Amino acid sequence: MNKKTLSNYILAFDEINALTAVSYNTASETTEDQTVQVSQIADDILSLLINAYRKGVQAASEMLAYDLTVDVRSMDEVIYLVIDGKTFEDRVADHVLSGDLQGLQTLAESEFHRVYNAAVLDGGHQYQSSVGYGVTKNWYTVMDDKVRETHRYLEGASVSLDEEFWTFDGDHAAYPGGFTKAENNVNCRCTVELHIDAEEE
């Protein structure tokens, strides 16, 4: 696995927590209007998510040794994905209105993680469409004692780009952060890595 890409990605979690706290505190100090606070914080988190998508496409470019570009429409679809009837902006509002900074930080981490991995996958699809070669994807955990069993089960699993990863509890996802059960997404640190199909290299 590309350890440089993975380590750079993991380090971003501390930065996300710090940036989210600064955004939350700055909005609280700037105005007492909670609607304005929500808007300011949502804008800041949107910037984080745009960065996450760009990082994911860049990582996919490195994995496939191919120059990929960010498709704005695909990026918007990933960032504004509705989950359980809510966009990331709706969930930001829930945490800000209840004064829950820790929950807001967890949300920012989880959304950054989801968007990053979805962008890697989008990069793989862009590569397949442009070049015509098939792509496989592998699931990697950070291999520490915090990794949940359902994800440890997937360590090193390899499937084609259009297939999903399945856990022993019946949950499934196209990429880390994309499971159907929330408990398999929150605080996940796994990543997906792309490979050109060996027989087509």
- Tell me the per-residue pLDDT of 161-181, one tens digit each, with 9 for 90 and over: 999 999 999 999 999 999 988
Q: What is the pLDDT of residues 120-152, one digit of tens each?
A: 999 999 999 999 899 999 999 988 999 999 999
Length of the chain: 201
pLDDT of residue 201: 45
Q: By C-alpha distance, which of 41, 200, 31, 188 is closest to 112?
A: 188
Of 39, 35, 22, 172, the C-alpha closest to 101 is 22
pLDDT band at 84 (very low <50, low <70, confident <90, very high): confident
Nearest residue to 150 via CA among 134, 169, 165: 169
Residue bearing tokens 């022993």: 168
pLDDT at 58 > cutoff 60: yes
Judge whether 161 and 134 are in contact, CB under 8 Å.
yes
